[in-house]
Amino acid sequence: MTGSAPDSLTVLLVDDDPLVRQQVRFVLASEPTITVVGEAADGEAALDGVARLDPDVTLMDVSMPRMTGVEATTALTARGSRTRVIALTAMDSDAVVIAMLEAGAQGFVPKEYAGEDLLAAVASVARGGGYVSPFSQPALFRHLAGQRGNTVRDDAARRLDALSERERAVARLVATGAKTADIAGTLYVSESTVKSQLESIRAKLDVSSREEIAVLVERAGETLTH
């Protein structure tokens, strides 16, 4: 086995299909440092197997009777189990990838690519790393991009919360490209009032230009149409 993985490690196989377990055993048997110490056919049996056998790595199917792989992995994480989980599933969808990783799995390998990826995944996870099959990485990248987008949006919304309702209305109009006179006419106030509010907005948002105000409004999703 490559890398700095342990000289020997133990694995628990969890899948409700005995044929799949047999196939996975065959793949793992090609690596002499790996010992399969047990098998389980559902999530509840997986929890029992981890408690009894204390495996270094648990290969966890997602869709199983009695308790799903997501539920079992969540339970293992909550218990502080030292076993490191690799999701092994036929359902290579964005939702499944993210659900297993959020539950605490350190790796994800679609069953159809297990022969190519499984040994690499076990090696990486056993030495404390993670592994997501190249075929599943796009789902993870989309998720991370969405998280970043949510963070940016939430930060902008938090900053806009410092504004009064009238200042917020002015900021929204600024984001449309409206000039001071246009804003004054829309809100039925004087231009001097708008200028005063713009000064207050810049101070509260810690920005120096209308463009920066517009960017924050757009990031918060509060843009208006002309």
Structural domain includes residue 128: yes
Domain count, the chain: 2
Task: Count CB neighbours of 149 within 10 A.
Answer: 11
Q: Which domain holds residue 186?
A: 162-219
Encoding tokens for residue 73? 């992995």
Q: What's the first-to-final CA gap in the chain, in angstroms? A: 62
Q: pLDDT tens digit string along 161-200? A: 889 999 999 998 988 888 999 999 999 999 999 999 999 9
Return the CATH number at 107: 3.40.50.2300
**Are 85 and 136 in a shared domain?**
yes
What is the model's pLDDT at position 22? Answer: 93
**Are 81 and 49 in a shared domain?**
yes
d(CA 143, CA 24): 29
Kindly state the DSSP code that residue 63 receives in the 8-state scheme: S
Whether the pTM exceeds 0.85: the reply is no
Q: pLDDT tens digit string along 22-72? A: 999 999 999 999 999 999 999 999 999 999 999 999 999 988 888 889 999
Structural domain includes residue 195: yes
Residue 99: CA count within 13 A, CB half-sphere:
17
